[in-house]
Amino acid sequence: MSVAVAVSGGTDSLVSLYLLKQEGWAPVAIHAFFLPQDQRSEHDCSQLKTCCQRLGVPLYLVDVADKFYSLVVEPFVQSYVQGLTPNPCALCNQKIKFDVLLDKAAELGANYLATGHYARFDRDCSGKYRLWRGIDRQKEQSYFLSLVNKNHLTRVIFPLGQRYKKEVERLFLDCFASFPLKEESQEICFVPKNDYRSFLESFGLELPGPGPIEDRQGKRLGEHSGLHRYTIGQRRGLGIPYPYPLYVLEKRVSENKLIVGSKHELASSHCWVRDMNFIEDWTNWPETVFVQTVYRHQAKRAMVKRGDYTLQVSYEQPRQRATPGQVATFYSEQGQVLGGGLIES
């Protein structure tokens, strides 16, 4: 059995490669170019080649920029046109890393693809595969994996799922002492300077222009500068003098209206989730689940009712309303990932 390791040049993927080599695998490394050639870093690629040479691992460079653009970037842009707030990292995992790169790994003769995600995958006593949170709760990334096809996940290895970030950083320094720890980016990789507003406007699309800002009673309070510039829960940048802080509650695309209100009005008791991906069979879901609608937010108890096309999620306690277009990931109380979908409303 052989394994290909998706390496970005960052700490996590390189340590994953190192660990598999130590465990007796004969891994190969795959570095995927997601961005056009004029946006690539020659320095990072050169350093990556040196690291792989130090481990005695062959490195293969693959260009997936065209597919990344059509499967991730274009849907990202169109989601904003529709008034949604997309999650491109989850979409990239679903469409590129655990689909296109899996095929690339197979072309190289690899049975598995390994990545540096902090998540766990195992089999129960009956041989059924299960996805779990990584043990490092400050770093774990299962939230971004809930849209991945469960059949694809059976061909994936997560070497870091049982490790903590601090331990991984020590391993990197032990193995690659001459290279500095690469600072992790919190930005969207294809959006320059994380300025997604300018990025969207650079496409020359017919984005909605200015329109009214109203409260829930229909009283006009001001004017917004384009709905794509706002997200649910946003407080800063509204430009409205008011006796108490106002938050974005809703974007009414058909009327080009931004609805705002108090923090109390921001609370919600339910949401609807579409395009569900069931990693655990629906018949095995517990009566009460834990749902997470924002990365790093705590998953909260909820009851779920399945309809023809959506799941209706009712929170045990009201919480900040979910943002349409973002991912909702469902867990068991023990941390098993049950599935995920896109928040509709």
Catalytic residues: 92, 189
Instruction: Please give the C-alpha separations between residue 70 and each of 121, 146, 187, 202, in angstroms, as whole numbers.
Output: 29, 21, 20, 17
Checking 176-183 for CB contacts under 8 A at 24+ apart, the result is 176/14, 176/51, 176/54, 179/47, 179/50, 179/51, 181/11, 182/9, 182/10, 182/11
Strand-pair partners of 277: 340
Give the pairing of strands 112-114 and 3-6: parallel
CB atoms within 10 A of CB 244: 7
- Which helix (H) or strand (E) segment holds residue 270: the answer is strand 267-278
Tokens representing residue 178 in the block: 């001459």
Q: d(Cα 149, Cα 316) in Å, to the nearest integer?
A: 29
Instruction: Determine how β-strand 211-214 pairs with β-strand 257-261.
Output: parallel
From edge to edge, which strands make up the β-sheet containing 112-114? Answer: 59-63, 28-33, 3-6, 112-114, 156-157
* Token pair for 278: 């069931």
Binning the chain into helix, strand and coil, the percentages to the nearest 5 are 30, 30, 40
Question: Going along 19-175, which residue ranges are E strands?
Answer: 28-33, 59-63, 112-114, 119-123, 129-133, 156-157
